[in-house]
Amino acid sequence: MGQRPDWTSDFPYRDWFSVVELGPGTHLISEPVHVNSYLIEGSERAVLLDTGLGLADIRKIAEGLSGKPLRVVNSHYHFDHSGGNRWFQEIAIHRSGATLLATPPPEDLAAAYMDYVHRLHADWVTYRELDDRYFRLLTGELYVRPLPEGFADEDFEILPSQATTLLDEGDVIDLGDRRLRVLHTPGHSPDSICLFEERSGMLFTGDTLSAGAIYAHAEDADVGSFARSTARLAGMAADVRRVFVCHFLRYESPASFLRAVGEGFERVLAGEAPLRPSIDFLGAPVVEACFEAFSIFLPAGWDPAVAGGGRGPG
Ligand SMILES: [Zn+2]
């Protein structure tokens, strides 16, 4: 492990979670750069869409924002969206994710993630300096946070959890005066869902969309079903006003983003997307299809000529 610069001595943003009110009863609870969770509150009940890394108690934050009975919905089973499930009793996930959620993750994943955290923190120092000097895109709620006081690498545990409710396509989550519809959008993972509030036009996409790298390369991903899911979302664009994603700093996009990503996947399958070699956050090699406001990570060895809408040969 390389030297770790101390950038925290007079750093004003120390809370691990960054909270942004997105509208009445709707909050972003983010672990900036790592992952975004969303608190959606109705007149009777509230839903926390995803629980983050589990590095700090997200339940306390959610309960501080909403006094309503709170249940968790996981957008999919991945550890960075379900890490805080440990603090909740009621957990809903798409039917196809229950077993995956309850399965212990690979043993070395927690350590690999902490390596990533330290790389991120080292590079953040430079990134912030450059932003201060030239660009001024960063605002406080986007700032990377130091690890919580006293938190050691060994404290980061990835725990399996048990779903108490199984969700299906078309289910409606009734919060009283608000209703969230479950859209099953497999591709990033078999159990990926989006939540859509028709009245406000808010769409919460989990990892099915990302204003950054869209991960379509992992073992549990499937590029063909990913393309079908994003085409479906593109078809809904007229009814959507605001799109909220779970990774990178641009957490909100306009509805036109749905069409852009749908077209991006079409171009990938047609072999028309510009490709370059890249690596994912854990350093694994991927093929990256590059577009204007996002990119798509494809399996290493991806060859559109033989992919035929499924996985590459790699
Ligand atoms: Zn994921």
pLDDT tens, residue order, the chain (314 aa)? 445 667 787 788 889 999 999 999 999 999 999 999 999 999 999 999 999 999 999 999 999 999 999 999 999 999 999 999 999 999 999 999 999 999 999 999 999 999 999 999 999 999 999 999 999 999 999 999 999 989 999 999 999 999 999 999 999 999 999 999 999 999 999 999 999 999 999 999 999 999 999 999 999 999 999 999 999 999 999 999 999 999 999 999 999 999 999 999 999 999 999 999 999 999 999 999 999 999 999 999 998 776 654 444 43
Separation of CA 235 and ligand 1 centre (Å): 23
Q: Which residues contact 57 (CB under 8 A, 6 or more apart)?
A: 84, 87
Residue 1 Cα to ligand 1 middle (Å): 26
Give φ, ψ of 150 to 5 degrees: 80, 0
Instruction: Assess if residue 71 is contained within a domain.
Output: yes
Distance of CA 133 from the midpoint of ligand 1 (Å): 34
Write the CATH number for 37.
3.60.15.10
C-alpha distances (whole Å) from 310 to each of 19, 123, 215, 226, 255 are 38, 36, 15, 10, 27
What pairing do the DSSP bridges indicate for beta strands 193-197 and 202-204? antiparallel
Assigned domain for 83 exists: yes
Count of the separate structural domains present in the chain: 1
**Strand pairing category for 295-299 and 213-215:** parallel
What sign does the dihedral 251-252-253-259 (CA atoms) show?
A: positive
Position 182 in a domain? yes
- The verdict on residue 110 lying in a domain is no
Domain that holds residue 240: 18-104+160-213+229-274
Q: How many Å lie between the centroid of ligand 1 and the Cα of residue 35? A: 10
**150 domain-assigned:** no
Tell me the CA–centroid distance for residue 67 and ligand 1, in Å: 29
- Residue 6 is assigned to a structural domain of this protein: no
Ligand 1 center to 31 CA (angstroms)? 15
Q: Is residue 45 part of a domain?
A: yes
Residue with tokens 């009793």: 89
Cα–Cα distances in angstroms (integers) from residue 131 to residues 126, 137, 138, 139, in the given order: 9, 7, 7, 10
Q: In what order do the strands lie in the sheet with 91-94?
A: 18-23, 26-31, 35-41, 46-49, 70-73, 91-94, 165-167
Instruction: Dig out the tokens for 164 from the structure.
Output: 């108490």
